[in-house]
Amino acid sequence: MSETKDLLNQALSAKTDRRRFIVTAAQAGAVLAAPSVIPSKALGRDGYVAPSDRIILGGIGIGVRGEYDLRMLLQYPDCQCVAVCDPNRARREKVKALVDARNDNTECATYRDIREFLAERTDIDAVLITTGDRWHAYASILAMRAGKDVYSEKPSSMTIQEGRAVMDTAKRYGRIYQTGTQRLSEANFTFANELLRTGRLGDVHTVRAHIAPWDAAEMRFDWLPEEPEPPKEEMDWDAWLGPCPWRPYNSQYVRGGWRGFYDFHTSCIGEWGAHTFAQCQVAIGAAHTSAIEYGYVNNPTGDGMVTQFANGIRMVLHRDDDNKYWHGSCGVRYEGTEGWVSIADGYDKPEVSTPSLLADFDKLVNEYMARTQRPMNHWRNFLDCIKSRRPCVADAEMMHRSMTTVHAANICMWLKRDVKFDPVKEEFLNDDEANRLRSRAQREPWII
């Protein structure tokens, strides 16, 4: 019996040694067969970022503004776009060409359906959403539920209810969110905010916010004439509409002609107020609340409406056609007992009541960046926060609170009377009619 056992052990030992030899030889062959030179790009050398350190990006609804955002993000070596999603084939193919040129390959994938895109691309860390207004909140929520961080263009919600849903989703899933109010990351606007914050303007009693000098607060409820609907692969009209009510296809919508229609837009107040309300609210320490009183003005746009915050500061809405308060787009002006500051796009430096207020321009901006660890670049701030998991300058709550002020101002204009709002309960006071306008019906299957 012992001799048989010894023979069996010898056989097993020989078989094991043979297996080890075969495996070792195969591994050695694989090493010899591997390329003798590994590209610097793969190793993260010669200015390239190693794959493990890159932020993998996807694009959703990349139009003209979206192309600008995408180029700003892709200027950084640690950001790589790998896929784009758009119901419009011409748009997704155009953006694919842009991305392929940046990546020096032809590997950027394209998707027509956002659900398929988010389900398949588990490799994507973050998405850039630059659809029309109607899709911003819904796409952001879908993306965050799928584990993606989000950069969404503004206006980032169509209703108070949508904004709340975006904020709650970001908190629940621990996602980084940045809304496209990029002036919060520009030196001139930051300086104006810091003048106010540091008390150099004295007691600030009034801030003024630019609203778009076209269109109206009252929007259209009709729709454009029906045209033959393109093939679904060329233009998925159902997906383009998303949560909005069904409307007949018209090519003018796709070319940007959706503005001014209630189904698709947030009015002239939302068009620029999404920027300027956020700017003012951050400046006056109201980034986590909304205005509480809204005074109706009898004109088509809301020009001259006075809103008031719980801290007593008034925010006045202006078209400013006569350049009384600023020149340029998306202007804001802050007025206090010791002076004022005014800034809009295109300024070399802000306008101030006293030249001495500009003396500490560089100091205040640099101190802001050191204190907040935020650069004067909205897109870089987004990428940095993806890595650090610190909130962005224009995070989901700041977006929701400032857009709530936008929506409440619109509701005031639509009802043609003053309204009062409780920003804690997020409801209008003793006003069922106004409260019904905090949300809109959504169309199957595009329901939050």
Distance CA 217, CA 219 (A): 6
Distance CA 148, CA 135 (A): 16
The percent of residues in the chain predicted with pLDDT above 90, rounded, is: 88
Q: What is the CATH number of domain 43-181?
A: 3.40.50.720
Q: Tokens for 56?
A: 């993998």
Q: Tokens for 212?
A: 């778009």
What pLDDT is stored for residue 47 in this prediction? 59
CB burial of 285-311 (b: ≥16 within 10 Å; e: otherwise) equals ebbebbbbbbbbbeeebbbebbbbbee
Q: How confident is the model over 394-414, as pLDDT tens digits? A: 999 999 999 999 999 999 999
Q: Write down the domain spans for the chain.
A: 43-181, 183-218+265-436
What pLDDT is stored for residue 367 in this prediction? 98
User: How sure is the predictor about 330, in pLDDT bands with cuts at 50, 70 and 90?
Assistant: very high
Identify the weakest region by mean pLDDT among 20-34, 72-86, 347-361, 395-409: 20-34
Inter-axis angle of helices 160-173 and 133-145, nearest 10? 20
Q: How confident is the model over 25-53, as pLDDT tens digits? A: 444 444 434 445 444 454 555 556 888 89
Residue 22 reports pLDDT greater than 50: no
What pLDDT is stored for residue 41 in this prediction? 58
Q: How confident is the model over 291-314, as pLDDT tens digits? A: 999 999 999 999 999 999 999 999
Residue 335 reports pLDDT greater than 80: yes
Residues 219-233 have a mean pLDDT of 97
Q: Do domains 43-181 and 183-218+265-436 have the same CATH topology?
A: no
What pLDDT is stored for residue 398 in this prediction? 98
Q: Tokens for 227?
A: 């045209």
Q: Tokens for 1?
A: 């019996």
What pLDDT is stored for residue 149 in this prediction? 99
What pLDDT is stored for residue 5 in this prediction? 43
Q: How confident is the model over 234-256, as pLDDT tens digits? A: 999 999 999 999 999 999 999 99
Q: How confident is the model over 96-120, as pLDDT tens digits? A: 999 999 999 999 999 999 999 999 9
What pLDDT is stored for residue 52 in this prediction? 85
What pLDDT is stored for residue 129 in this prediction? 98
Is residue 58 within 8 A of residue 128, CB to CB? The reply is yes
| Phi (first) and psi of residue 328, to 5 degrees | 110, 180
Is residue 301 within 8 A of residue 268, CB to CB? The reply is yes
Q: Does domain 183-218+265-436 have CATH number 3.90.25.10?
A: no
Burial of 439 (0-12, 13-18, 19+ CB in 10 A): middle
Query: How many residues can be counted in the chain?
Result: 448
What pLDDT is stored for residue 49 in this prediction? 85
Taking the model in full, what pTM does it have? 0.89
What pLDDT is stored for residue 34 in this prediction? 45
Work out the mean pLDDT of the chain and round it to a whole number. Answer: 92
Distance CA 437, CA 413 (A): 12
Q: Tokens for 376?
A: 């004067």
Inter-axis angle of helices 267-283 and 187-197, nearest 10? 50
Query: Per-residue DSSP letters for 54-101?
Result: PEEEEEES--HHHHHHHHHHHTSTTEEEEEEE-SBHHHHHHHHHHHHH
What pLDDT is stored for residue 13 in this prediction? 47
Identify the weakest region by mean pLDDT among 29-43, 62-76, 352-366: 29-43
Residue 214 reports pLDDT greater than 60: yes
What pLDDT is stored for residue 388 in this prediction? 98
Cβ count within 10 A of residue 268: 27
What pLDDT is stored for residue 18 in this prediction? 41
What pLDDT is stored for residue 30 in this prediction? 44
Residue 12 reports pLDDT greater than 90: no
